[in-house]
Amino acid sequence: MIRRLLIATALFIAPCTVVAQRTGRTQADKKTEIFDKQEMPKGPDIRVRDLEDQSPLHLLIDKRKDLKLTDAQLSQLKDSEGKLKEKNAPLYKSADSLIRAMRVTSQPSDQDKARARSARSDFMDVVKSLNENNDAASKEVVPGLDADQQTKAKEMLEKQRADGEKFIRERMSEGRP
Model confidence at 131, pLDDT cuts 50, 70, 90, reads very high
- Distance CA(177)–CA(51), nearest Å, equals 21
Q: Where are the domains of the chain?
A: 42-173
Chain mean pLDDT for the chain: 83
Report pLDDT digits (tens) over 80-116: 999 999 999 999 999 999 888 888 777 778 888 888 8
Closest CA to 43 of 131, 108, 126: 108
List own/partner pairs for 158-164 with CB under 8 A and 24 or more apart: 160/54, 160/56, 160/59, 161/56, 161/131, 164/54
Report pLDDT digits (tens) over 15-55: 766 666 655 556 555 666 655 555 555 667 788 898 898 99
**Over residues 62-86, mean pLDDT:** 91
Closest CA to 148 of 66, 57, 58, 79: 66
Length of the chain: 177
For 100, 129, 134, the CA distances from 97, given in Å and listed in that order, are: 5, 16, 21
Q: pTM for this one?
A: 0.70
